[in-house]
Structures are given as structure tokens and as C-alpha cells.
Amino acid sequence: MNMKAGAAPDLAWPSDVTDVPSEVFVRKDIFEEELERIFYGPYWHTVGHEAEIPNPGDFKTIDLGRVPLLVARGKDGVVRVFINACSHRQNQVETAPCGNRKGFECPYHRWTFKNDGSLAGCPGSEDFSPKFRKEDYGLKQVNMTNVFGLILVSLADNPPDIDTYLDRGKQNLEKQIGHKEGLQLLGYQKVRYGCNWKVIMDNDGYHAPLLHTGFRLLGWQSGGGEQFVRDYSAGVESQLVPGKSTGILKDSSLIEFKDSQWDAGSFVTGIFPATILVKHMDVISIRFPIVRSVDCTEIHYAYFAKGGDSEETIKHRVRQASNLLGPCGMISMEDAAIFRRIQLAAEARGTAIFQKGVKDLKSIPNQFLQNDESPNIPRWDHYRRLMGFSKKGEA
Ligand code: FES
Ligand SMILES: [Fe+2]
């Protein structure tokens, strides 16, 4: 890809590590620069899990920033990711969100592609220019890697080593999605939040029992645990204290924890820049982010069961996934309103301040308790450096 980051947008960053200027959520020039530097830059972005396209011919489409991608499993069983643009005149080849096809046909001039991306046919080729060779005109493949079935891509020519990139996050991922019998897709909840992508990633461990009424009503306990932050991954690993029935639910089987054999813990892992994976009780979910604009972020919540689950367990996972932790889940539904309210108030260009767990205004913390908001500080500092924003008083 020929995408280039420009000069850093003009923004003086506050000198205390606790302070973040709200204008990073609303400035269009900053959003455009993020697309170039981060989303089209030398980082890894999740676009799917192999369990979403289990059979030869299965595919899904997804956008990385504004770049349309096509994730397809070939007849040979291999998963590949392509730029979703015809090699002829760059028309978008596939528009369905997912499906199964023998191949792909671009409707403009009917060029056809096999699901391994190679060009199968092109009408009228006897009259094509002398430079045309069919083997040169397959769909353009994107750099990809696969971690426990999670498909990550990079538009940059030389993306970093994935193990180094994920760092400690890889251990969490193994516990979340690395089950030996693999995963099976249960379904999706797809939602558009009226906010900048960083507002969602800035959600914290402090708010959960305070904002979410469901935490109290269900007798929900997050238990003890720890958070870690690396440059490109972050996470929370908690003991799991299953909710007690407080009489609020007529049927408290909704908050039962049935699969305690696999891993009793609760894990939330963030992968830079904007993916979140959650394994909590019997919910296994991956949130695929699509940054639509400076104030609109689409999240595809994909839910999974384990490969060998019984029908009864699958039913339980579907019920728990859709009722607890999704965009309208009982212990997370208020987040959407907060995201939007932060976005609206950010127009005043104030300063967001982190307090809980902060001991020092000048150094970046690296140890956190489960309900601290201080883990957001190293993440913001990493973002600030990557975007080239200098602190006030620095050169
Ligand atoms: S643009 Fe696809 S066939 Fe011409
Ligand atoms: Fe929340």
C-alpha cells in the first residue's frame, strides 16, 4: 500500500501523565492522521476468526479503516485476506457481509476470481493490451497471520513479529480462544457507537460497579485480579466470582457458570489499536472494530462456543452472551450512552483526567489493581508518542 503518515497534527499535550486533551476525540485532522499512521501503518489488525468461515468457499467482508477487505477460505482450506477491489478497474468485488461462494465475480466487466484470489476468467481478453498476463491479475493479497485462529492483517509491507507484538497478551489469548477443540461461531451483534474509537478503548476498570446497575442487581462480583499493559496489548485477568441470585432474575441459570473446567478465570484482552476479546463465565467473544469516522465506530461482537460443546451448552452460551456482555447486555448496556455523552462533551475540548490508582503525576505507572483507571495512562502515552504529539514544554 502506498499510504504515508504526514506531519503530526498540531496539538500540545498536557505535561501531567494523568491528562488527556478531549480534542483527540473530535478533531477530523487527527482522525485522518490515525488512519494513515495506525490503521494503515505497521501494526496488526484483527479481521476475523477462522471459525467464522469454517468451510471451503466461506467468506466475510470487513473494512479496515476505509479499506474494504475480503477474507476467504479457498477450496484448499486455506484462509487468505484480499483487498476487496477488482484487479481490473478497482471495483469492489464482494458486497455481502458473509456467505459461501465457488468464486467471486466482479459485476462491472464480469472478471471472475477463484476463492484463492487467482483470476479465473475475463471476457474479451483476446483484445487486451500487450502487458496483460492472466496470472498477474489475481486479487491483491494482504499480509496476514493467525493466532489461535484469530486472523490479523497489516497493510504495511513489513509488519512486526506477531509474538513480540502481542507480548503478554498472547498468554491471555490462549486462555480465551486457544481451546484444543477449536471454536464454533454462534452469531453476531453488530452495533454503531456514536463516538470516536478511542472513547471505547478508554473504558476502564473503575466504572464497572459504579455505572452498571446490573452489577448490583445481579450480585455481580468481579473478584480480585490484575491488569497488565504493554505497547500493543493490554488485559485484565480476574478470579471469577459467579453472581449470586439476588431474586432479581426469575431464572438465575442465566448467570450460572457451567464450563469451569476449561478455565475458571475471567479474561479481557485488548489488542492495539482497537480489538477487545472477552472470556467471562461462559461467554467467549471477540469484538472486531471498524472505525467509520471521527465520531462513529462500528463494533461487530462475534460470539463463540467451543468445538465440542453439547447443544445444551451452546444454548446456554448464546443466552449468556446476548444478555450479559454485549451492547445491550445487563452488565454493559450503559456503556453506549456514556460513550456518546463523552463524544458530545468532547466538543468543549476540555481535559480528561485519570485519578484512580494514580500515585505520581510525572511517571508512567506499570502496576495496577483491577479497578484502577491508571492502566489507561501508559496506553495514552504510547498513542501520544506514536502520533508525534509533544508534551507542553518539550521540543
Ligand atoms: S472492474 Fe472488475 S471486471 Fe472491470
Ligand atoms: Fe462498562
Whether residue 364 sits in one domain with residue 294 = yes
Whether residue 177 sits in one domain with residue 109 = no
pLDDT value at 3 more than 60: no
CA distance 65 to 77: 27
C-alpha cell recorded at residue 293: 469516522
Question: Which helix (H) or strand (E) element contains residue 163?
Answer: helix 162-166
Residue 298 maps to which CATH number?
3.90.380.10
- Give the tens place of pLDDT for each residue, 9-57: 899 899 999 999 999 999 999 999 999 999 999 999 999 999 999 999 9
Q: Is residue 1 part of a domain?
A: no
pLDDT of residue 223: 63
- The average confidence (pLDDT) of the chain is 93
- Give the tens place of pLDDT for each residue, 235-277: 888 776 666 667 888 888 888 888 877 666 788 999 999 999 9
C-alpha cell recorded at residue 385: 508518542
Domain boundary among 137, 159, 181: 159
DSSP 75: T
Q: Is residue 346 part of a domain?
A: yes
**Nearest Cα residue to atom 3 of ligand 1:** 109
Whether residue 266 sits in one domain with residue 221 = yes
Whether residue 289 sits in one domain with residue 147 = no
Percent of the chain with pLDDT over 70: 95
**Would strands 112-114 and 103-105 be described as parallel, antiparallel, or unpaired?**
antiparallel
Question: Which helix (H) or strand (E) element contains residue 79?
Answer: strand 79-83
Whether residue 379 sits in one domain with residue 322 = yes
Three-state secondary structure string covering 220-281: CECCCEEEEECCCEEEEEECCECCCCCCCCCCHHHHCCCCCCCCCCEEEEEECCCEEEEEEC
User: What's the 84 CA to ligand 1 centre distance in angstroms?
Assistant: 12
Whether residue 233 sits in one domain with residue 277 = yes
Q: Is residue 382 part of a domain?
A: yes
pLDDT of residue 308: 92
Whether residue 62 sits in one domain with residue 28 = no
Q: Is residue 3 part of a domain?
A: no
Residue 128 beta carbon below 6 angstroms from any ligand 1 atom: no
**Nearest Cα residue to atom 4 of ligand 1:** 109
Mean pLDDT of 282-292: 97
Domain boundary among 159, 192, 224: 159
CB atoms within 10 A of CB 221: 15
Domain boundary among 141, 159, 177: 159
Residue 106 beta carbon below 6 angstroms from any ligand 1 atom: yes
Residue 305 beta carbon below 6 angstroms from any ligand 1 atom: no
Residue 119 beta carbon below 6 angstroms from any ligand 1 atom: no
pLDDT category of residue 371 using cuts at 50, 70 and 90: confident
User: What's the 363 CA to ligand 2 centre distance in angstroms?
Assistant: 27
Whether residue 354 sits in one domain with residue 208 = yes
pLDDT of residue 236: 85
Q: Is residue 285 part of a domain?
A: yes
Domain tally for the chain? 2
Whether residue 349 sits in one domain with residue 241 = yes
Q: Is residue 2 part of a domain?
A: no
Secondary structure class of 53 (helix, strand, coil): coil
Residue 121 beta carbon below 6 angstroms from any ligand 1 atom: no
Residue 113 beta carbon below 6 angstroms from any ligand 1 atom: no
pLDDT value at 362 more than 60: yes
Residue 146 maps to which CATH number?
2.102.10.10
**Would strands 150-154 and 112-114 be described as parallel, antiparallel, or unpaired?**
unpaired
Whether residue 82 sits in one domain with residue 132 = yes
pLDDT value at 6 more than 70: yes
pLDDT of residue 262: 67
CA distances from 147 to 44, 108, 165, 176, 232 (A): 11, 36, 12, 12, 15
Residue 28 beta carbon below 6 angstroms from any ligand 1 atom: no
Q: Which domain holds residue 183?
A: 19-40+168-387
pLDDT value at 222 more than 80: no
Whether residue 213 sits in one domain with residue 227 = yes
User: What's the 112 CA to ligand 1 centre distance in angstroms?
Assistant: 9
In ligand 1, the atom with minimum distance to the C-alpha of 93 is 2
pLDDT of residue 326: 87
**Nearest Cα residue to atom 1 of ligand 1:** 89
- Give the tens place of pLDDT for each residue, 189-218: 999 999 999 999 999 989 988 999 888 777
Residue 142 beta carbon below 6 angstroms from any ligand 1 atom: no
